[in-house]
Structure 1
Amino acid sequence: MGRCFTLICLLFIPTAVMAQLEVIVEPSNNGVRDNIQAFIGPVEAENRREMWRLARHATDQATKAAQALGFYHTRIRPDVTGSRDAPVLVLNVSLGQPILLDKVDIRVEGQGRETFQLPSSSRLRQGAVLNHGHYESYKTLISNQALRYGYFGGRFEQQELLVDVDNYQADITLVYQSGDRFRLGEVAFSDTPFNENLLQRMVRFRTGVPYDADLLAELNRDLLSSGYFETVQVSASANTAEDGLIPVNVEIRERDQHSLGFGGGFSTDVGPRAKVNWTQHWINPQGHSRGADLEVSAPRQQISTWYQIPLDPPQSHSLRFFTGFQDEEIDDVETRSFTVGAQLLRTLDSGWERVIGLRLEQERFSLGNESGQSTLLIPSLLLQRTVSDNSIDPSKGYSLMLDLQGAKEGVLADFDFVRVNASAKGLYTLFDKHRLLSRASIGAIGSESFDSLPPSLRFFAGGDQSVRGYDFRTLAPTDESGERIGGRYLVATSVEYQYEFIDKWRGAVFVDHGNAMDSLTDPRETSLGLGVRWVSPVGPIRVDVARSITEPDEGFRLHFSMGPEL
């Protein structure tokens, strides 16, 4: 080979365009131009003579910046323009032919050969233009992989970048010897009011498992998500290893035992409402917890209490006992119910939340011209999942829900029924300002004793979360007197377009379609509307005006609501 040498250059990202420096690259290459500007930095001179004095150093710097991107045959001609008191340094850069990679040998030796996840890089292959930044980045990637997987004794046996300037080519040799992989030892917790059994059940890995930094990060997340701790710090230092086994130390500080929350809101569906909740996050060393919730609004008052026992693993699996009372009066429907039951809650590895429930529900109701009372032992299954990039104001994501419940006559139930309800929402943002939101709900009830079914289990439509051209729960089958009594089926869909015309402010146009009905062949209602959304610190606040296009005599409906859109 001709003239060969090793060169390592740092690449810089420009933070601003300096008015005192102008770089002209032929043929045009924005990457080279930006790197030269960033590498040279600000150029300031009080007069043209002083600027010419700075030109030599700037030319040397520009040469190095071009070489960092593979251009070793550049010719740079400096010039000074501008006024006498405001000179501008102009660098005319002629790039010439770039250096291309010839031989590329990148290997990981030792145990890490099967463990490292090193993607093949089109930037480091034969025929690619030499870029010192890509070479350094790949070295960093290998080193980071070694740290993640516990190869703390690894090292580069060879790391060489040879440039043959005369022949316009370069060779890369990177050989990393991983050495032996460390393993994770026992997990030790700092002093805490919780017993050791509860804490160890939160650890998903066993002693002796190969080191993986993701396992430690997962342990940190699991402990925080358990709801018991205010701060968590997980550490495993290779300096403390014995025979390749690294002990894991966890410093934890429990949260305040009690919390009391107050909330409120307003929507056109239920008007103003207030909420109070109390939680005792841990009662005993076994991690049991309990709480109570109270909600009051004009049409609905409800109070409930619960007691929860952690299962295995405690952070995602629990058994909850609950009881509650609700009194509700909305238009033609009055209900008063008492509930007691239990739920088995689990967050699955797939991300789905699964709730298996069993509740005994007694309900007195007045529905149209009828009144009644029901006692039902209801087993249930709830599956739901929400994926989004922000919990308060997401820009994209989706949510899915499936609710299945029923009862069997004679098993602490007055009659048979099966009820299924499924819903889906999707949100996508285009070009930062354009948003598409869609939702769909479908439900069905199977029962030969539908007339005995309490209103809380029947379907109603209309309102700010349904067909917005109608008031809350005003879409439903009616009795002979014209009062709404709820339906066997529910179909509701919506498509909405939003545009952010000012930061945190969005306009919306939407179409809603659906109904609650006794037959899937019954007619459905369609409404159109406009709205405004303000992204407040507590979440989006929505104001909508909608009108039915299937029943224009319904007039306009105003809806106000707040909360996340997924």
Structure 2
Amino acid sequence: MFRVVLLMLWLAFVSFSHTVSAQSQSQKIEILGVDGELKSNVEGFTRRYQTQTLNHQQLHNSVSQALQALGYYHSQISLEAERNNETLVINIKPGEPLSWNEINVQVDGDAKKDTVFSVLLTKLPIQVDQTVRHDFYQQAKSNIESLLLERGYFDFKWLRKEMLIDKRARLAKVFWHLDSGNRYRFGTLNISKQTQATQYIQSLATFDPKSMFDSALLSDYTLALNATPYFRSAKVYPLLNRRQNGSLPIRVEVVDKPANSFEVGGGYSTDLGAKGRLKWTKPWITNDGHFLEGNLSVSQRRQDITGSYTVPVLDPNNDVWRILGGYQVNDDLQEGIESKIWNIQLQRQWLISDSWVRTAFIKREHETTEQEDKTFKTEMLLPGISYAKKQTKGGTTPYWANEQLISLEVASDSLVSSTSLVKARWNNAWLRSYEQKHFAISRINLGAIVVDDINAVPFNMRFFAGGDQSIRGFAYRSVGPKEDNKDIGGKYLATGSLEYNYQFLPSWRAALFIDAGTATNDFSEKWSVGAGFGFRYITPIGPIRIDHAWGVSKKSKSTRLSIVIGPEI
């Protein structure tokens, strides 16, 4: 008899459990009384009710936890079954959220006098009088720990880590006490293998031995090593298990490039058509790190081949002597015009303050231009100087960028050149983003040639406007002075562009833009204006940009489609 009773109880329990499970999985949940982020958080906490066996008390607790996570500790929650038990309605009166009354952070050790760390403490995502949020609390703690490690406090420890909530008194307080310990200094470089480039591994280091550790300097060092022509890959990291006496050894692991390396690339633009590129690099001509590069670029409208021999001084990236030579064929000026250019150039390039790269050069150039049955030849000897600065974040698809180029070159007809002139240029590009969805891009290009007769200036030195990278809505190099209805280029250039991108899918952006400017001899013409819309498809090699633009200032108001593959900047 006793066994029969046990069996009946067991069957009843199984039946009840099955009923609760089936009910919980079949019931729909409707949440009333809250919306926005609060409702989304409750939905996230209650999903378990629809996939697991939970009773109403457990569901009530889950809803309460979801509300408390965002600071609502005095909410009223009721559960009601409706529509023949098919829907479970959760009614919520959230009440007023708690705010932080006190945030007490006590720091011992070297970090107490670290100004960067002190600034972080003033900008934590939790502040007095702000609504209590558990996710912000965890984020603040994580920010502190991350910065301590980034700045070399590898022995830090928490002495107290507490969040106190008094629901009756409506008080919320944070008490943190940490000991950062001593801040470590950079130790010796530990290079993984013998390599010809040892001297550059040492000279490229962005930190001095015994200077205070900073992970940002390690990142800069890694980028510098990977930018050289010597390494296929380079990795830099601290040897934490070998730290002692306040010193932290730095490990450098490199993989050398082969004696000859090749890169193949390609692209497309409406201006130049399909383009292919072949690059050859020979990294070690001498034991001092001299290197040789060759480039072949072929497109429908332009073909050029260049070679360079580089002699590093201290930094093979930004402190070098370089000899360059090249030959270029252009038939992109307009149908019926073709130019052939050869040049040789000596450069001295070095990095100066605030990331500016200065290049002093002297260039010898010969151009032959054929226009129908006429041939023009020019010879130029051009000493000059340029200043360039490029800063980007985000790789081939940057979300932040600055780019500037300032150049000046001169020529004299008493010293080899066909004419005397002074040519100056200033190019500026700027990109900013907000919340990784909104992107603003601006460009300004200015230029001037001081010369008596523009017709004596080589075609490749004159200014033209129009095209995918200039004024969209106008054909490539179609904006500028004309002769016999042929574009011949001008003395002055002024173009500008404003563009807005919105990322509506992980790999897609929509774009709106307006471009304006002119290439001219006297600024007597009206400026050309183009505007339109487009799309950006994000790829590992940069965005594919498709734009549809109107020549707003043209009488015909004709439209033009442009396609470009490559980074915005």
TM-score, length-scaled by structure 2: 0.78
CA-to-partner distance for each residue in 1:8-58, whole Å, 9 max, x for gaps?
Answer: xxxxxxxxxx984747576x4765554454445411489xxx86xx11233
Q: 1:553-564 counterparts in 2 under 5 A?
A: 561-564=564-567
Using the TM superposition, give the Cα deviation of residue 343 of structure 1 relative to its aligned residue in structure 2, in angstroms: 2.5
Contact 2:72–2:98 (CA under 8 A) maintained in structure 1: yes
Q: Which amino acid aligns with 2:307?
A: T
Report the counterpart of residue 380 of structure 1 in structure 2: 385
CA-to-partner distance for each residue in 1:207-233, whole Å, 9 max, x for gaps?
Answer: 111222222233222222334333333
Query: How far apart, in 1, do the equivalents of 2:161 and 2:505 lie?
Result: 52
Using the TM superposition, give the Cα deviation of residue 500 of structure 1 relative to its aligned residue in structure 2, in angstroms: 8.7
Using the TM superposition, give the Cα deviation of residue 270 of structure 1 relative to its aligned residue in structure 2, in angstroms: 4.5
Q: 1:265 to 1:209 in 2, by over 3 A?
A: closer
Q: Which moved more, 1:282-291 or 1:239-248?
A: 282-291
Q: 1:555 to 1:90 in 2, by over 3 A?
A: closer
Q: Which moved more, 1:266-275 or 1:416-425?
A: 266-275
Q: Which moved more, 1:425-434 or 1:406-415?
A: 425-434
Q: 1:217 to 1:559 in 2, by over 3 A?
A: closer
Q: Which amino acid aligns with 1:113?
A: K
Q: 1:411 to 1:96 in 2, by over 3 A?
A: same
Query: How far apart, in 2, do the equivalents of 1:136 and 1:179 lie?
Result: 22
Q: 1:12-411 counterparts in 2 under 5 A?
A: 20=27, 22=29, 24=31, 28=34, 33-39=39-45, 41-44=47-50, 54-83=55-84, 86=86, 88-95=87-94, 99-115=98-114, 116-117=117-118, 118-120=120-122, 124-264=126-266, 269-271=271-273, 273-297=275-299, 300-329=302-331, 330=333, 331=335, 333-346=337-350, 350-366=354-370, 371-385=376-390, 387=392, 389=394, 391-392=396-397, 399-411=403-415
Query: How far apart, in 1, do the equivalents of 2:512 and 2:40 lie?
Result: 43
Q: For 1:219, what is the secondary structure of its paired residue?
A: helix
- Say whether residues 1:486 and 2:485 are aligned partners: no
Query: How far apart, in 1, do the equivalents of 2:357 and 2:286 lie?
Result: 26
Q: Which moved more, 1:291-300 or 1:183-192?
A: 291-300
Using the TM superposition, give the Cα deviation of residue 260 of structure 1 relative to its aligned residue in structure 2, in angstroms: 2.5
Size of the aligned set, in residue pairs, is 537
Using the TM superposition, give the Cα deviation of residue 189 of structure 1 relative to its aligned residue in structure 2, in angstroms: 0.9
Report the counterpart of residue 516 of structure 1 in structure 2: 519
Q: Which amino acid aligns with 2:106?
A: R
Query: How far apart, in 2, do the equivalents of 1:238 and 1:250 lie?
Result: 14
Using the TM superposition, give the Cα deviation of residue 286 of structure 1 relative to its aligned residue in structure 2, in angstroms: 3.6
Q: For 1:312, what is the secondary structure of its paired residue?
A: strand
Query: How far apart, in 1, do the equivalents of 2:64 and 2:560 lie?
Result: 69
Q: For 1:42, what is the secondary structure of its paired residue?
A: helix
Whose helix fraction is larger, Structure 1's or Structure 2's?
A: 2
Report the counterpart of residue 457 of structure 1 in structure 2: 461
Report the counterpart of residue 10 of structure 1 in structure 2: none
Report the counterpart of residue 7 of structure 1 in structure 2: none
Query: How far apart, in 2, do the equivalents of 1:478 and 1:367 lie?
Result: 13
Using the TM superposition, give the Cα deviation of residue 560 of structure 1 relative to its aligned residue in structure 2, in angstroms: 5.7
Contact 1:74–1:93 (CA under 8 A) maintained in structure 2: yes
Q: Which amino acid aligns with 1:447?
A: V
* RMSD of aligned residue pairs (Cα, Å): 4.2
Report the counterpart of residue 528 of structure 2 in structure 1: 526
Q: For 2:408, what is the secondary structure of its paired residue?
A: strand
- Say whether residues 1:416 and 2:400 are aligned partners: no
Using the TM superposition, give the Cα deviation of residue 469 of structure 1 relative to its aligned residue in structure 2, in angstroms: 6.0
Contact 2:473–2:548 (CA under 8 A) maintained in structure 1: no
Give the alignment partner of residue 445 of structure 2, picking from 441, 444, 447: 441
Q: 1:306 to 1:61 in 2, by over 3 A?
A: same
Q: 1:314 to 1:102 in 2, by over 3 A?
A: same
**Percent identity of paired positions between Structure 1 and Structure 2:** 25
Relative CO higher for 1 or 2, CA cutoff 8 Å, sep ≥ 6?
1
Contact 1:123–1:129 (CA under 8 A) maintained in structure 2: no
Contact 2:382–2:409 (CA under 8 A) maintained in structure 1: no
Q: Which amino acid aligns with 1:341?
A: Q
Query: How far apart, in 2, do the equivalents of 1:271 and 1:103 lie?
Result: 64
Using the TM superposition, give the Cα deviation of residue 312 of structure 1 relative to its aligned residue in structure 2, in angstroms: 3.0
Using the TM superposition, give the Cα deviation of residue 186 of structure 1 relative to its aligned residue in structure 2, in angstroms: 0.5
Query: How far apart, in 1, do the equivalents of 2:276 and 2:130 lie?
Result: 65
Q: Which runs of 5+ in 1 are unaligned?
A: 1-17
Query: How far apart, in 2, do the equivalents of 1:154 and 1:430 lie?
Result: 34
Q: 1:359 to 1:278 in 2, by over 3 A?
A: same
Q: Which amino acid aligns with 1:489?
A: Y
Q: 1:4-15 counterparts in 2 under 5 A?
A: none
Query: How far apart, in 1, do the equivalents of 2:359 and 2:478 lie?
Result: 30
Contact 2:412–2:420 (CA under 8 A) maintained in structure 1: yes
CA-to-partner distance for each residue in 1:392-451, whole Å, 9 max, x for gaps?
Answer: 5x6775644333211245455454311112334456789999987654433211124654
Q: 1:149 to 1:273 in 2, by over 3 A?
A: closer
CA-to-partner distance for each residue in 1:357-377, whole Å, 9 max, x for gaps?
Answer: 222223344568573432414
Q: 1:20 to 1:292 in 2, by over 3 A?
A: same
Q: For 2:343, what is the secondary structure of its paired residue?
A: strand
CA-to-partner distance for each residue in 1:273-328, whole Å, 9 max, x for gaps?
Answer: 54333222444554332121223456544221111233333344333211112344
